[in-house]
Amino acid sequence: MSEWFETLDGLRERVWARLAMAALQSDVVTLATVSPESEPEARSVVLRDADPEAGTLAVYTDLESAKITSLRHHPRASFLIWDADLSLQIRAQCQVTILTGDVVAELWDDVPDYSRLSYGITPPPGQVIVESDAYQKAPDQAVFAVLSCMVDAFDIVHLGKPHRRARLMRAQSQPGEWVANWLAP
C-alpha cells in the first residue's frame, strides 16, 4: 500500500480533497493575476468553492476591485496554497470567468449580513481617500462577483523524503481526465 504522495493518482486525489476542505473551512489562499500593464499582482482571498468533478475553484469579490479590471484584460489567474501539515504546495493555473447578477443571486442569498459588507464600498476599493476611515460600506448585490476559475494545470510539490514534484494538465480530449507527469523538483 503506497502513501498518497508516492503516486500521481494519489497526489491528484489529495490535492482536490485539500482544496475541497479549504473551501469548507473558508481558508485564505493567494490569488495572483496580471495587471493591464503586465505587472504581477497577488492578494489573499478566501477560497469559496472547489469542485473536483468540474475542476473549478471559486472566489467572491467586489466587481469594482482592481483584480476585475486585470481579469477583464487577461482572464488568467494562479492560486497558491501551502499546507505545512501535509508538506504540500499547490499551484493552480486557471481560466477565469467573472459571474455577476442573476446567476450569482442564490450565492448572494447565502452570504451572511456581516460578510455582505465586503461588497459595496464608497468610494470603490483602491481609491485614494483623505482619511483612513473616509469610506462607507453598504452591501450591494450589484457589485457582488464570483470568480469561477477553471483549473487547467496544477504544479504540486511535496516536501517529503525525497522531495516530489508533479504536473497535472487537464486532458483536452477527455473531459474530467488529467495528464500527469513527475517533474524534477
Ligand X SMILES: Cc1cc2nc3c(=O)[nH]c(=O)nc-3n(C[C@H](O)[C@H](O)[C@H](O)COP(=O)(O)O)c2cc1C
Residue 44 half-sphere exposure, CB side, CA atoms within 13 Å? 4
| Closest distance to ligand X from the beta carbon of 94 (Å) | 15
How far is it, in rounded angstroms, from Cα 115 to Cα 18? 24
Nearer to ligand X, 75 or 125 (CB): 125
| Closest distance to ligand X from the beta carbon of 2 (Å) | 36
Nearer to ligand X, 89 or 118 (CB): 118
Question: How large is the greatest C-alpha to C-alpha distance in the chain, in angstroms?
Answer: 62
Nearer to ligand X, 39 or 131 (CB): 39
| Closest distance to ligand X from the beta carbon of 12 (Å) | 26
| Closest distance to ligand X from the beta carbon of 11 (Å) | 27
Q: Cα–Cα distances in Å, from 25 out to 28, 29, 46, 58, 59?
A: 9, 11, 9, 14, 13
Nearer to ligand X, 66 or 179 (CB): 66
- Residue numbers of the site for ligand X (CB under 6 A)? 28, 41, 43-46, 59-62, 65-67, 125-126
Nearer to ligand X, 66 or 99 (CB): 66
- What are the backbone dihedrals phi and psi of residue 87, each rounded to the nearest 5 degrees, phi first? 55, 45
| Closest distance to ligand X from the beta carbon of 93 (Å) | 18
Strand ranges for the chain from DSSP E: 28-34, 40-51, 56-62, 76-83, 88-99, 121-122, 136-137, 144-159, 163-170, 178-183
